Amino acid sequence: MEFLKVDRVNQCALLCALLVGTLYLLVNWTPSGVLSQIQEQQLPRSKSRDILAGGYTDELGKVLADASAGNNKTVIITVVNKAYIEGDKSMLDLFLDGFWLGEGTRPLIRHLLIVAMDGTSFERCKFLGLHCYRLKTEVDLDGEKVYMTPGFLTMMWSRTQFLGNVLKRGYSFIFTDTDVMWLRDPFPRLNQNRSLDLQISVDGFNGDPWSEDNYMNTGFYMVRSNNRSIALFDEWYARRNASSGMKEQDVLTQIKQEGMFRTLGFSVRYWDTNYFSGFCNESKDVRAVITVHANCCRTIAAKAADLSTVLRDWKSFIGSPSSSSTNGTAAFQWSAHVACQHSWL
């Protein structure tokens, strides 16, 4: 009898243990496939990946991860303020129109990060459903900053500092001024050699993509995140206080001329203006052109006026039956940039 009592006690203990274990599994265990589906329903794909990997450290980390998702930690970055979103057809509107009407450019919008220098432009960006980041600065940068004024220089240096921080987070990027019209996807034309640190537009191309005699334009370039690029951006930004009256582009040119590119082993490719063109030096081949930059222009109003004309010319070309023929290309001509020419008077 005593043996039976002990056996019953052991059976009850075993049943209780099994019951507790089953309840634990039901509460705490979910099949991996179902768990994945639940997480994907609650969060966009890029957010889910980052949270599982350890979470975001701050808002910039979040937007960089979102914008680079599926693009190998590479983002497209532009900077705006209130002046770029004003008017019936703002600079930002024109910039986005280029992506919408360009060849193969619409999908690139998902990798575009708009860096807003003030609250008004930040709210506009969010209203458009884009990837947005509010860059806070010590001085007011919400109005138009006319070329080479103190406000313009401050905005350019704030931009340089921000982009250096992006590199330090391990993200490569294409930086594009908002006055650059994207007419085609540039990625097929970019050199994919990972030893190439910087690929940059120029105001005038001398025919040699490796020649340091090409004059760089920092309104459109691609840079890889690595120790060399981070060191260069640190040196570049550190010179701001000793470069009074100089824009950041001229300081970078000075660094190049001093031989720092070679000292760092920093490799640079300069883009042919036939593909990456601007008002300073237009592409003559509309079938090859990738971007058109409203450089050599002083005010936002003038840029907007002449970029509207570029967009009109482009729509006329892509809508023409002769757009795919050599004869049609030969007959094509960009309209004169009248507003930009007058902006210097």
CATH code, 308 = 3.90.550.10
Report d(CA 332, CA 121) in Å as an integer. 36
Confidence of residue 322 (pLDDT cuts 50, 70, 90): low
Q: Evaluate whether residue 59 is within a structural domain.
A: no
**Does 211 map to a domain?**
yes
* Cα–Cα distance for residue pair 244/30, rounded to 1 Å: 62
Fill in the amino acid letter for 313: D
**Distance (Å, whole) CA 161 – CA 175:** 13
* In-domain check, residue 48: no
pLDDT 10s digits, 41-51: 232 333 434 44
Q: What is the pTM of this model?
A: 0.81
In a domain, 31, yes or no: no
The confidence score (pLDDT) of residue 150 equals 72
Digit-coded pLDDT (tens) for 248-264: 999 999 999 999 999 99
Does any domain span residue 331?
yes
**DSSP string covering 123-151, please?**
HHHHHTT-EEEE---SS---S---TTSHH
Question: According to the model, what pLDDT value does residue 16 have?
Answer: 47
Neighbours of 154 (CB within 10 A): 17
Residue 41 located in a structural domain: no
Task: Give the residue numbers spanning the domain of 257.
Answer: 72-342
In a domain, 5, yes or no: no
Domain contains 327: yes
Task: Count how many domains the chain has.
Answer: 1
